[in-house]
């Protein structure tokens, strides 16, 4: 994987071309990039997406509250190098980057079959192209003192996002439906898919339009006992197994594997919302712990 992927807009413009031609070609390149972004964004499998922007920001804000002084200082330095004010500001970068680099789509999830009980790297992560492997990989880049500054910044962006992704239940399970993307559901009078319910709707129900307020509220509910329990699972593989179980028992639950849209009732939403919020809390604490382990106390 190349951590540095920088293209220069001046390539392909000959010195003999006049300013008007240069500007015209620049506009063509920009238009082509926009069209490509729209096309790739619609064509890429939705299983490459996880929590909506609000969910990722909530996770990042919770994590920032639990950083050690050393980790907070190092994170601040990397954010400054990127011109970003906070972890929340970079928390959705990986989804934006994926639009123009669809080859990174599989890095956001791991398809553990619902019939299986545990993650198996050979079966579930071919070529190390899954979220489990990529979390470990990005943490490795951040630990390595020889990683260049730009590479560390990019690794931090990925790590912040991927730790969130691995706690979204439908990013760690598959019922031959692309993590719930192909399971059509009806919410009220609207048709959508199960993945979208967990990505966006449950967080919106909880007040996700104000990520900072929701993060503060969720963080205030976290006890020392909670933190100890969540950090007892130390490996990324254990996180994936845990989230896989949440997908089976709470996301898929008793929903039929149907070709016809499944009605999502209020009872399902009432049961699922606290589970989704719990996953945001766990992700925030584990992200902070991961950064503390990398950068020190």
Beta carbons of 285 and 62 less than 8 angstroms apart: yes
- At 56, is the secondary structure helix, strand, or coil? helix
Residue 1: pLDDT over 90: no
Q: Phi-psi region for residue 210, left (φ > 0), alpha (ψ -120 to 50) or beta?
A: beta
Give residue-wise pLDDT tens across range 167-217.
Answer: 999 999 999 999 999 999 999 999 999 999 999 999 999 988 899 999 999
Closest CA to 168 of 42, 37, 51, 38: 51
Closest CA to 51 of 188, 208, 159: 208
The CA-based diameter of the chain, rounded to the nearest angstrom, is 69
Beta bridge partners of 187: 190, 264
Give residue-wise pLDDT tens across range 37-74.
Answer: 323 333 334 344 568 899 999 999 999 999 999 999 99
Q: In sequence order, what are the residues at sequence separation of 6 or more whose Cβ sits closer than 8 angstroms to the Cβ of residue 178?
A: 45, 46, 47, 195
- At 257, is the secondary structure helix, strand, or coil? coil
Cα separations in angstroms, 157 against 91, 135, 138, 222: 6, 11, 9, 25
Task: Tell me the two tokens of residue 124.
Answer: 């579930």
pTM passes above 0.85? no
Task: Provide the pLDDT for residue 266.
Answer: 96
Give residue-wise pLDDT tens across range 24-34.
Answer: 333 333 233 32
Pairing label, strands 190-193, 184-187: antiparallel
Residue 218: pLDDT over 60: yes
**Residue 235 CA to its chain's centroid (Å):** 18
- Count Cβ atoms below 10 Å from residue 72 Cβ, excluding itself: 17
**41-295: CATH, from 1.10.575.10, 2.115.10.20, 3.30.160.250, 1.10.3430.10:** 1.10.575.10
Higher pLDDT, 266 or 1: 266
Q: How far apart are the first and last CA of the chain?
A: 29
Task: Tell me the two tokens of residue 31.
Answer: 């238009």
């Amino acid at each position: 994987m190349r951590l540095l992927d920088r293209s220069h807009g001046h390539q392909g413009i000959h010195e003999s071309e006049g300013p008007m031609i240069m500007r015209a070609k620049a506009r063509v390149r920009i238009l082509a990039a926009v069209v490509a972004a729209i096309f790739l964004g619609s064509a890429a499998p939705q299983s490459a997406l996880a929590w909506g922007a609000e969910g990722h920001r909530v996770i990042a804000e919770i994590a920032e509250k639990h950083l050690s002084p050393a980790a907070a200082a190092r994170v601040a330095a990397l954010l400054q190098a990127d011109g970003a004010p906070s972890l929340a500001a970079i928390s959705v970068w990986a989804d934006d980057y994926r639009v123009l680099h669809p080859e990174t789509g599989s890095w956001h999830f791991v398809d553990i079959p619902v019939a299986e009980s545990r993650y198996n790297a050979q079966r579930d992560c071919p070529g190390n192209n899954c979220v489990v492997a990529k979390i470990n990989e990005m943490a490795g880049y951040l630990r390595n003192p020889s990683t260049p500054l730009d590479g560390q910044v990019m690794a931090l962006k990925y790590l912040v996002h991927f730790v969130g992704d691995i706690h979204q239940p439908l990013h760690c399970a598959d019922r031959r439906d692309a993590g719930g993307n192909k399971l059509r559901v009806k919410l009220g009078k609207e048709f959508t898919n199960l993945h979208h319910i967990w990505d966006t709707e449950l967080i919106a129900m909880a007040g996700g339009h104000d990520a900072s307020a929701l993060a503060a509220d969720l963080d205030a509910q976290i006890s020392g006992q909670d933190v100890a329990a969540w950090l007892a699972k130390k490996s990324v593989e254990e996180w994936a197994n845990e989230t896989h179980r949440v997908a089976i028992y709470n996301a898929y639950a008793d929903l039929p594997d149907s070709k016809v849209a499944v009605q999502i009732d209020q009872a399902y939403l009432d049961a699922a919302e606290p589970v989704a919020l719990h996953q945001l809390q766990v992700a925030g604490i584990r992200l902070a712990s991961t950064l503390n382990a990398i950068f020190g106390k």
